[in-house]
Amino acid sequence: MSGGCSRQEDYPDAPITVVVPWGVGGGTDRVARQMARFLEVELKVPVNVVNATGGRGVTGHSRGLRARPDGYTLTMMTLELNMLHWQDLTDISWREGTPLMSVNEDAAAVFIRADSPWRRPQDVLAAIEASPGRLTASGTASGGAWHLATSVWLDAAGRDPADVKWIPMGSSAAAMQELLSGGLDFVCCSLPEARTLLESKQVRCLGVMSAGRAPGFEDVPTLKEQGYDCSFIGWRGFAVPSGTPADRVDRLVAAMERIVTGETKIEGTGFPQYLESQGFNARWRKTDDFARFLEENDASFGRIYQRSSMVQDSGGRVGPWAFPGLLATALVGLSICLAIGHARASRHLSKVPLTCDGDTAGQRTAGPSQAAIVNVLAVTGCVVAFLAFAETAGFVVVAGASLLTTLLILGNRVATSVAATVLVVPAIYHIFAHVLSVPLPRGWMGW
Amino acid sequence: MLSSLHDAFWLLLAPKVMAVILLSAAYGIAVGAIPGLTATMAVALIIPITFHLDPISAIAAIVTLEACAIFAGDIPCALVRIPGTPSSAAYTDDAYTLSRRGLLRRTLGVSLVFSVAGGLFGTAVLILGARQLARVAFAFTTYEYFWLYVFGLSCAAIVSHGSRVKGALSLVIGLLLSTIGLSEVHSTPRFTLGNDDLITGVSFIPAMIGLFGFSEVLRNVLSMARGDTDPAVNSAKDIPIGGSPSPLRATIGDRDPTTDTRFGGVFARLWSRKLAFLRSSGIGTIIGMIPGAGADIAAWISYAVSKRLSKTPEEYGKGSLEGMADATAANNASLAGAWIPALVFGIPGDSVTAIVLGVLMMKNITPGPQIFDNPKQATLVSAIYLTFIVANLILIPLGALAIHAGTLLIRTPRRLLVPLILLFCIVGSFAINGSYFDVGVMLLTGLLGFALERWNVPLGPIVLGIVLGGEVEKSFIQNLTKSDSLVAFFERPVAAGLGAACLALWLLPPLLALRRLRRHAGTP
């Protein structure tokens, strides 16, 4: 942040990183990467995407929104951000960032197999009423976005969400496959996620949870038309950590506005065309408008979590500690087995001092020498040094120092060591940062 | 079909498409050979570009990139003992031990030829049987997945070198590591101590780099300080270890007249193992076809079957060329297999085909049963087939070049190489997610791996445990949520078959051993 004022005219003059909380190749990732490519054209600096996955989105959102507020780290936010804190998984909320631009909104929808006897949403509800707790559904993990959407619909239809058994699945693709294999009764996810299966007539959509019909899917009715007043929108948008200098925010917003309106073109095509080609609904909202939307979206999720009977721990009757418990038992059992085996082997060894098997662990030579311990500590120290100093000092400085130290310790000549360091470290930095678009920490040397 | 093949052939021959293929191949080999960068990541990096390419070039780029990156993952495996992908973890120790014996060229030559052949086999199945075979995906519900994952994990634990108990111990450690972080099924943080980083959990790439790469660095600096060879450090005693008066130069194999260093010998080897090859590639293709099960499980199962049927099972894990060949054929064959459900039903078989589906839709091509009937799309499908063949063929010269570059690298003295490996461990584990936490994971798993190896505990099962731990837990809980009784685990025919195979895997060998023991006792 220091030096931000002196360099404001030049912003941006270094690579920008976009933190994406979801995995490579998914919908969010694809939207973010395309945006990054258009931003590169607009801002004329490399824009790299980093996938900080895991923790149901906690990791990526918190890393992105809590980064240094210098305008060089953008976060791709998704609707899960507004759910996580209601589930007590984290205390981060959209308020820790300055919203720049939302780029896409897709409503949840309900899908069944094409050969299912059900025709309308009423048929599903009737089946649920006939035997509560028997129907299975999925689309995401328990407590995930589409699980919440299903609850919203069932709630609006006057049914208890607990009457449907939610099978936790890793992704909507996995849920769709399970639906087609006959393992599920219906799936809830967004329309673009089901597009291929819908267009090849392997699944049918009973209704989409938005106010009006979705662009590109005009023949799919809304649930509202069919008498269920419910809406559930998945959104994606960009933000920077709050505290980012206003002029930098303006620069980014101006660039993004040209992109989302389709003014920026790469080889004749614009960002909206890209979204359309993927089946994503290209709906955008700018700064304050986006913030108001987030505020409202967040509050509505709060109401849903308080009202519906959706409990946080809904992973079925098998608790979260059952599996680790099973493993821990196995670990103890195996350790006991090994200990008994070892004791028996060493007794055997003491009787017969000569063994032909060189593989036994008991045949270790005298303990490591002092030099060896120094070497091991030095190597470990290099990694620790990277952890401690790379963020401030930068990759080139820390990696260079580590490499030089280990080279010297292992008995290379000084000239060789220095030459290797000077050649290798900048080369690696260049390859990763520029050729592979994988950002390495920058620091004192601007590298 | 024939006319579309003809059209596709000429489309593919366009100079622009050929240039794209060549560039992607080189890029794929580079990314695959750098520890920490995966085939999926390579593909993701080029998606934004594919939007501006014509459909044929876009698909050709992805297919080539993937095939080349998966093979190239074997290069760091043999050179510095860091598997490029988890599917190489099954035979990392074999490849590395062989290269330390001076057989680097031959090892990677075998890996290259079997990868290419496996890839071509998978392609043949894709071309001839996609429509008929795609139904396999629908035989798999959560019950079948559960048993398939358990089967893959069991194979990993049982076939690793060392005792069965130690293999199981390693597997359990891997599975336990996978439970750190937010439980996907329950949304409950586990073992996180309230830390935001730990909620992410242990990802397998830094763990893999730590377990294999960093622990190897530690072993080397230890033995180099000692200045002599240490039998406990390496299980293969005939391997010269760096630190002896002259630095290790793995040139023995190249000069030894008894070893075939040229690739001609490798092709003869392929012919002599044709049945084993067909078996391995078949396993790979079928497993690739099942969405959610990919090259990693394929490699492990193929390796396990290979060991069981081998005349020299004791070599596995200590430098078995045949085990490596079978596993590497399987993991490349599975790539084409993954395209089968993707093309026919629009269900991605793995992370790369998930990306590909996005690209196809971008080009207004909707995968599904009708893709074969529409003449315009049929041309594209034929082009995909041909690209698979071209990608695998182009891998031969480029792979050979990469192997040559690798042989130069291994001639560098060990005291110079080891610090470079250390640097790559750090960069590789950082690069995948840009996270310092991952570097920490690499450090700790490296120390763990170092300790475990001194006890002769195999490391491969830990990697597979981390990769599949979440999945196996998920399917276990999904099944228990669906139905109360354990009988349901065996109700569907495929599930029953896989379940029985798992039980047999664990119970049969001890029973057989018992019988053998009794027979031995009978005839002294």
pLDDT of residue B226: 66
**Is B282 part of any domain?**
yes
**Residue B348 covered by a domain:** yes
CB-nearest to B186 from A136, A320, A360 is A320
Best of B359, B438, B481 to disrupt the A interface (most A CBs within 10 Å) is B481
Q: How many CB atoms lie within 10 A of CB A308?
A: 16
Residues of chain A contacting residue B357, judged by C-beta atoms under 8 Å apart: 196
Is pLDDT of A189 > 70? yes
Cβ of B225 and A369 within 8 Å? yes
Arithmetic mean of pLDDT, B51-80: 87
Percent above pLDDT 90 for chain A: 46
Whether residue B322 is predicted with pLDDT greater than 80 in this model: the reply is: yes
Tens-digit pLDDT profile for residues A157-181: 988 888 898 888 877 888 898 999 8
Domain count within chain B: 1
Name the residue facing A25 among B165, B354, B367 (closest C-beta): B354
pLDDT at A349: 65
Asked whether the predicted pLDDT for residue B456 surpasses 80, the reply is yes
Residue type, B322: E
In the predicted model, what is the mean pLDDT of residues A269-286? 89
- Joined tokens for residue A154: 């069932």
Q: Are B152 and B163 in contact (CB under 8 A)?
A: no
Query: 10 Å Cβ neighbour count for A46?
Result: 17
CB pairs under 8 A between A and B: 349
Note the pLDDT tens digit of each residue in B380-392. Answer: 888 888 989 999 9
Give the pLDDT of residue A315: 46
* 8 Å CB contact of B434 and A26: no
Task: Give the pLDDT of residue B250.
Answer: 35
Candidate from B44, B231, B434 with C-beta closest to A25: B44
* Nearest CA-CA distance, residue B351 and chain A, Å: 7
Chain B residues touching A318 at Cβ < 8 A: 476-477, 480-481
Q: Kindly report which listed range (A88-92, B174-178, B304-308) carries the lowest average pLDDT score.
A: A88-92
pLDDT tens-digit readout, B97-111? 998 888 888 899 999
Average confidence (pLDDT) over A25-40: 87
Range in B104-108, B115-119, B478-482 the model is least confident about: B478-482
| B362 found inside a domain | yes
CA pair distance B353, B62, nearest whole angstrom: 9
Q: What per-residue confidence (pLDDT) applies to A59?
A: 85
Taking contacts as CB-CB distances below 8 angstroms, the residues of chain A near B361 are 195-196, 277-279
Identify the pLDDT of residue A279.
83
Cross-chain residue pair B230–A365, CB shorter than 8 Å: yes
> Residue A267 pLDDT > 90, yes or no?
no
Q: Which band of pLDDT confidence, cut at 50, 70 and 90, is reported for residue A447? A: low
* Cα–Cα distance for residue pair B120/B105, rounded to 1 Å: 22
Mutate to test the interface with B, among A193, A196, A199, A329 (most CBs of B within 10 A): A196
Shortest Cα distance from B405 to chain A (angstroms)?
16
Q: Do domains A8-104+233-307 and A107-208 have the same CATH topology?
A: yes
Query: A320 vs B188: CB contact, 8 Å cut-off?
Result: yes
**Residue of B44, B223, B434 with shortest CB distance to A439:** B434
Q: What is the model's pLDDT at position A56?
A: 81
pTM of the model: 0.82
Query: Mutating which of A22, A199, A359, A373 best tests the B interface, going by the most B Cβ atoms within 10 A?
Result: A359
Residue % of chain A over a pLDDT of 70:
90
Cβ contact, residue pair A438, B431, below 8 Å: yes
pLDDT at A347 over 70: yes
**Residue in B347, B368, B416 closest to A173 by CB:** B347
Interfacial A residues in 366-395 facing B (CB < 8 Å): 368-369, 371-372, 374-376, 378-380, 382-384, 386-387, 390-391
Residues A390, B346: C-beta atoms closer than 8 Å: no
% of chain B with per-residue pLDDT over 70: 91
Chain-chain contact of B420 with A425 (C-beta, under 8 angstroms): no
Check if A181 contacts B (Cβ < 8 Å): yes
How do the domains of chain A map onto residue ranges? Answer: 8-104+233-307, 107-208, 370-435
pLDDT of B368 reads 77
* Cβ-nearest to B427 among A136, A201, A428: A428
CA distance A150 to A148: 5
**Mean pLDDT of the region A131-139:** 90
pLDDT digits (tens, 9 = 90+) for A229-264: 888 999 999 999 999 999 999 999 999 999 999 999
The ipTM (two decimal places) reads 0.79
Nearest CA in chain A to B341: A177
* Closest residue of chain B to A143, computed from CA coordinates: B187
Segment A354-382 shows an average pLDDT of 66
What is the per-residue pLDDT for B253? 35
Stretch A131-144: mean pLDDT:
87
**Domain A8-104+233-307 class in CATH:** alpha beta
Cβ within 8 Å of B, A 24-63: 24-27, 29-30, 33-34, 36-37, 50-56, 58-59, 62-63
Q: In chain A, whose CA is at the least distance from the CA of B473?
A: A323
In this complex, do A53 and B433 lie within 8 Å of one another by their Cβ atoms?
yes
In this predicted structure, the answer to whether residue B507 has a pLDDT above a threshold of 90 is no
- The predicted model gives B138-153 an average pLDDT of 88
Q: What pLDDT band is residue B10 in, cutting at 50, 70 and 90?
A: confident
Residue B449 within any structural domain of the chain = yes
Q: Is the pLDDT of residue B205 over 80?
A: yes
- Asked if residue B521 belongs to a domain, the reply is no
Instruction: Determine the average pLDDT of the residues in A213-218.
Output: 88
- At B350-359, the pLDDT tens digits run 778 877 887 7
Q: For residue A366, what pLDDT band results from cuts at 50, 70 and 90?
A: low
Determine, yes or no, domain membership for B432.
yes
Instruction: Write out chain A in H/E/C secondary structure.
Output: CCCCCCCHHHCCCCCEEEEECCCCCCHHHHHHHHHHHHHHHHHCCCEEEEECCCHHHHHHHHHHHCCCCCCCEEEEEECCHHHHCCCCCCCCCHHHEEEEEEEEEEEEEEEEECCCCCCCHHHHHHHHHHCCCCCEEECCCCCCHHHHHHHHHHHHCCCCHHHCEECCCCCHHHHHHHHHCCCCCEEEEECHHHHHHHHCCCEEEEEECCCCCCCCCCCCCECCCCCCCCCCEEEEEEEEECCCCHHHHHHHHHHHHHHHCCCCEECCEEHHHHHHHCCCCCCCEEHHHHHHHHHHHHHHHHHHHHHCCCCCCCCCCCCCCHHHHHHHHHHHHHHHHHHHHHHHHHHHHHHCCCCCCCCCCCCCCCCCCHHHHHHHHHHHHHHHHHHHHHHHHCHHHHHHHHHHHHHHHCCCCHHHHHHHHHHHHHHHHHHHHHHCCCCCCCCCCCC
Domain assignment of residue B44, given as a range = 2-482
Which of A327, A387, A420 is facing B436, going by the closest CB pair?
A: A387
Q: Which of A191, A203, A217, A334 to mutate to test the interface with B (most CBs of B within 10 A)?
A: A334
Compute the mean pLDDT over every residue in chain B, rounded to the nearest whole number.
82
Determine whether the interchain pair B292/A177 forms a contact, defined as Cβ–Cβ distance below 8 Å: yes
Task: Give the mean model confidence (pLDDT) for residues B310-332.
Answer: 89
Q: Average the pLDDT over B332-346 and give the result.
A: 87
Joined together, the tokens standing for residue A165 give 């058994």
pLDDT of A27 higher than 60: yes
Per-residue pLDDT band for A370 (boundaries 50, 70, 90) equals confident
- Beta carbons of B48 and A37 less than 8 Å apart: yes
Query: For B15-45, what is each residue's pLDDT tens digit?
Result: 889 999 999 999 999 888 887 777 877 887 7
Query: In this complex, do B224 and A34 lie within 8 Å of one another by their Cβ atoms?
Result: no
Residue B6 lies in a domain: yes
Answer whether A359 sits within 8 Å of B482, measured CB to CB: no
- Reported as a single tens digit per residue, the pLDDT across A389-398 is 998 898 999 9
Is B350 inside a domain boundary? yes
Region A107-208: CATH code: 3.40.190.10
> What is the pLDDT of chain A when averaged over all its residues?
86
Q: Do B237 and A358 touch (CB under 8 A)?
A: yes
3-state helix, strand, coil in chain B (%, to 5): 75, 0, 20
Task: Check whether B85 has a pLDDT greater than 50.
Answer: yes
Nearest to A174 among B225, B231, B292 (CB): B292
Using pLDDT thresholds of 50, 70 and 90, give the confidence band for residue A357.
Answer: very low
Inter-chain contact B436–A390, Cβ cutoff 8 Å? yes
